[in-house]
Amino acid sequence: MPSPSFVLASVFVVSYAAFTATDSGAATEPVAILTQASGAHLDDQAASPGLSVFEGERVQTDSGGRASLRFGSSSLALLGSSEATLTRVSRGVHIDLSSGTVRFAANETQIVEVHAEDATIRSQDGRVSDATITILQPKVLQIEARRGSLDFTYRREFRMLPEGQVYRIYLDTPDRPDSEASAGGQIGVAGSKVAYYIVGAGAAGGIAWVTYAAIHGGNPPLSPTKP
């Protein structure tokens, strides 16, 4: 009959093996799959449809390029001259946008967070969302909430951005620049270091729903791992 110490050692070995296998599997699971890539790069290599994107890998587009990705039943796209990295979060994805523009469409079961210029833009839990975030210049963002309101956080400041509007947001400067004198209505500036302006209405009709419709259509076969 095996001694108690031998049995205990055996249980430890089996448990540790199971833990490391699970941890390794989680670490190697891709965050998203490239579904379109034109003038795009994954780290230092040319990107192509079907490639897996893992945590920490940089997706970058040239001027005029584009990269589209799918994660779960949701999707996102980087427009020209954009750069981002993706990280998995609970029930969704976190996008660190370094430059350019990202558009995402998420269903009500997934969360998308975009971190840009130290601000965080987050889709609301339980709501379908379709939004575009652009870094216009350092500390200046443009956010279009096509479908679903967005939660905006910058340092200790929080604001809900209702759907159907295009917002120009200046961080650390409550004064509207002269060049924006005709941009639109100013909202919620008193006592804040962040200036919010409504500069237009969100796109309507079929054009606004291209990305949203895509995530509810048929799912083409995607490569589960990087070739």
Local confidence pLDDT in tens for the 227 residues of the chain: 555 554 444 444 444 444 444 444 445 799 999 999 999 999 999 999 999 999 999 999 999 999 999 998 899 999 999 999 999 988 899 999 999 999 999 999 999 999 999 999 999 988 999 999 999 999 999 999 999 999 999 998 999 999 999 999 999 875 555 555 444 556 655 556 789 999 988 654 333 333 333 333 333 333 333 33
What confidence score (pLDDT) does residue 11 get? 40
What confidence score (pLDDT) does residue 3 get? 58
What confidence score (pLDDT) does residue 200 get? 85
Alpha-carbon dihedral angle through residues 187, 163, 76, 121, given to the nearest 10 degrees? 40
DSSP 6: H
Token pair listed for 89: 């979060």
Separation of alpha carbons 66 and 49, rounded Å: 11
Q: How far is CA 7 from CA 1, 12, 16, 189, in A?
A: 10, 9, 14, 67
List the end-to-end C-alpha distance of the chain, in Å, as a whole number: 49
What confidence score (pLDDT) does residue 28 get? 79
CA-closest candidate to residue 130, choices 118, 142, 112? 112
What confidence score (pLDDT) does residue 85 get? 98
What confidence score (pLDDT) does residue 201 get? 81
What confidence score (pLDDT) does residue 77 get? 98
What confidence score (pLDDT) does residue 187 get? 64
Separation of alpha carbons 202 and 166, rounded Å: 6
How many C-alpha atoms does 109 have within 13 Å on its Cβ side?
A: 6
95 in Cβ contact with 114 (< 8 Å): yes
Those residues with Cβ within 8 angstroms of residue 210's Cβ, 6 or more apart along the chain or in another chain: none
Separation of alpha carbons 82 and 48, rounded Å: 16
Separation of alpha carbons 28 and 21, rounded Å: 11
What confidence score (pLDDT) does residue 204 get? 43
List strand residue ranges (DSSP E) for the chain, in order: 32-42, 45-46, 52-53, 58-71, 74-78, 83-89, 92-106, 111-116, 119-123, 129-137, 140-147, 150-154, 157-161, 165-171, 185-187, 194-201
What confidence score (pLDDT) does residue 9 get? 46
Q: Give the pTM.
A: 0.74
